């Protein structure tokens, strides 16, 4: 049967996007030309903040002292999980060398970038977990300098828990600077920072557009849109938990899509009945976000069977994908397009968002069809090298000369010719090209 939309979205992440390119480009150009002083001007304008941009050791210590011990322990627990998972990821990439032909060796090296810039949202919500996710992975990768920046609040500064998390996770510099000006400061090397080689971390549409514009002169993890989540559920799923998980992700923002894909109509209808009451029970800001997201962006899709459900999910390529269905190994093997996968009722996207160890900086808006999320590998350059004996280079030089001439690249060919002439002076080689 064709997919049956029991609830259809009236908007998409693309239709809801605003064009902020010119505004962001103007701010970046101003700050690049005006340096530290211009960045401070924008901090005063947008952040309503006139304190220190670079937090001193005393300010960091004071902020850390304000964090309750129980929260410190939770942050330390999450940091340890993320660190250990990142270390396991790093171990999957190793240096090696290989003899391609006798006398010609080539190899791979994994080299961390020098400077990482981590953006940590702090506007609507204080994203403590984003500090853990971005700074920890950069530290495990081996970056020599890690800058973290987060929007300060007027008269308060950066949220103390964000400062504490960035500090214990290994940030070398912590800045009180939000939005485009924070991204610009790390990219252009303002306030005495080294210029960032890579920018990472989630943010609003202004931060995302700044990263889009700057990509090329600096690396980025990805260009993130509104967060999105999809749940695959069959008749065995608990409708209350499914509904709760959908609402938990809808609270991210008014334009955060959530999708339920199922082969059981009764489950779908039960979940749809429960969602409004669960939203109504949230605090005001969360309630308003979740209500708008559910009304305008959410979808409930009825499929014929689990194969059609899996195909539907792969088409959406969600940032977060949850499976609450029988035969979890089948789903793990079958599904191929997602940022992070949560198998079974016993785990949830919220775990991955905060503390379980996998990274929460993930591809949105269908980008999971071609990329994964932030990992220790994003901070590492996989480079190659080669070395040859004279005999080992002989056959390669012949092939290089002939291929180059066939392509019309005579200079390349002569770089091979001179080596053959020097290393094998008594031999004749046919180095002409023949189409």
204 has binding-site annotation: yes
Strand, coil or helix: 150:
strand
Note the maximum CA span of the chain.
88
Q: Cα(231)–Cα(236) distance, rounded to whole angstroms?
A: 13
The pTM of the full predicted model, rounded to 2 decimals, is 0.94
Give 340-359 pLDDT, tens digit per residue: 999 999 999 999 999 999 99
The answer on pLDDT for 124 being more than 70 is no
Does residue 435 carry a pLDDT above 70? Answer: no
The percentage of the chain sitting over the pLDDT mark of 90, rounded to a whole number, equals 93
pLDDT for the residue 434 = 74
Q: For 296-320, how does the pLDDT look when each residue is reduced to its tens digit (9 = 90+)? A: 999 999 999 999 999 999 999 999 9
Ligand-binding annotation for 137, yes or no, is no
**Residue 363 has what pLDDT?**
96
Is 79 labelled a binding residue? Answer: no
Per-residue pLDDT band for 433 (boundaries 50, 70, 90) equals confident
Catalytic residue among 319, 346, 391, 427: 319
For residues 201-219, give the mean pLDDT. Answer: 95
320 is in an annotated binding site: yes
Predicted confidence at residue 18, as pLDDT, reads: 66
Annotated binding-site residue? 251: no
- Give the model's pLDDT for residue 224: 86
Q: What is the mean pLDDT of residues 225-233?
A: 96
Using CA atoms, how far apart are residues 418 and 411, in angstroms rounded to an integer?
Answer: 11
Checking if the pLDDT of 216 tops 70, the result is yes
Is the pLDDT at 14 greater than 60, yes or no?
yes
pLDDT at 73: 98
How large is the average pLDDT for residues 182-204? 97
In whole angstroms, give the CA distance from residue 52 to residue 17.
33
Question: Is residue 77's pLDDT more than 60?
Answer: yes
* pLDDT of 161 higher than 60: yes
- 252 annotated to a ligand binding site: yes
Q: Is 181 annotated as a binding residue?
A: yes
CA distances from 240 to 1, 243, 265, 300, 322 (A): 27, 5, 15, 15, 15
| Given the residues 145, 167, 320, 360, the one annotated as active site | 320
pLDDT attached to residue 17: 61
User: Does 119 carry a binding-site annotation?
Assistant: yes
Catalytic residue flag (residue 391): no
SS3 content of the chain, % helix, strand, coil (to 5): 45, 15, 35
Residue 79 bears catalytic tag: no
List the domains of the chain with CATH numbers.
22-221 (3.40.50.1980), 226-372 (3.40.50.1980), 389-424 (no CATH)
Residues 199, 188, 127: CA angle, nearest 5 degrees? 35
The pLDDT of residue 392 is 97
Q: What's the Rg (C-alpha) of the chain?
A: 26
What tokens were used for 152? 């300060």
């Amino acid at each position: 049967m064709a997919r049956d939309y029991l609830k259809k979205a009236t908007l998409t992440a693309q239709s809801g996007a605003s064009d902020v390119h010119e505004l962001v480009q103007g701010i970046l150009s101003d700050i690049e030309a005006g340096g530290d002083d211009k960045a401070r001007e924008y901090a005063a304008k947008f952040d309503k903040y006139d304190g220190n941009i670079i937090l001193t050791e005393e300010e960091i210590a004071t902020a850390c002292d304000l964090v309750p011990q129980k929260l410190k322990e939770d942050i330390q627990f999450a940091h340890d999980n993320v660190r250990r998972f990142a270390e396991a990821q790093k171990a999957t990439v190793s240096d090696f060398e290989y003899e391609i032909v006798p006398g010609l060796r080539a190899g791979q090296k994994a080299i961390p970038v020098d400077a990482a810039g981590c953006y940590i949202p702090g506007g609507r919500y204080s994203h403590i977990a984003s500090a853990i996710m971005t700074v920890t992975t950069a530290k495990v990768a081996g970056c020599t300098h890690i800058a973290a920046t987060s929007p300060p609040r007027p008269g308060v500064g950066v949220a103390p828990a964000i400062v504490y998390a960035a500090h214990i996770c290994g940030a070398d510099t912590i800045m009180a600077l939000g939005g485009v000006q924070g991204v610009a400061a790390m990219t252009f090397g303002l306030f005495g920072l080294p210029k960032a080689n890579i920018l990472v971390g989630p943010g609003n549409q202004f931060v995302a557009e700044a990263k889009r514009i700057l990509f090329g002169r600096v690396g980025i993890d990805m260009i993130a849109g509104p967060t999105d989540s999809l749940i695959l559920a069959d008749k065995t799923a608990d409708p209350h938990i499914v509904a709760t998980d959908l609402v938990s992700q809808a609270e991210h923002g008014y334009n955060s899509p959530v999708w339920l894909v199922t082969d059981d109509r009764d489950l779908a209808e039960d979940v749809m009945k429960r969602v409004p009451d669960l939203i109504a029970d949230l605090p005001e800001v969360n309630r308003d976000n979740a209500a708008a997201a559910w009304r305008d962006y959410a979808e409930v899709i009825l499929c014929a069977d689990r194969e059609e459900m899996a195909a539907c999910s792969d088409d959406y390529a969600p940032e977060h994908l949850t499976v609450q269905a029988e035969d979890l190994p089948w789903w793990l093997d079958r599904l191929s397009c997602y940022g992070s996968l949560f198998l079974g009722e016993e785990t949830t996207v919220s775990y991955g968002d905060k503390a379980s160890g996998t990274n929460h900086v993930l591809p949105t808006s269908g980008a999971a069809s071609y990329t994964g999320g932030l990992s220790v590998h994003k901070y590492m350059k996989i480079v190659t090298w080669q070395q040859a004996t004279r005999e080992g280079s002989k056959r390669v030089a012949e092939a290089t000369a002939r291929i180059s001439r066939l392509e019309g690249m005579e200079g390349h060919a002569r770089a091979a010719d001179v080596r053959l002439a020097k290393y094998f002076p008594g031999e004749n080689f046919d180095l002409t090209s023949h189409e």
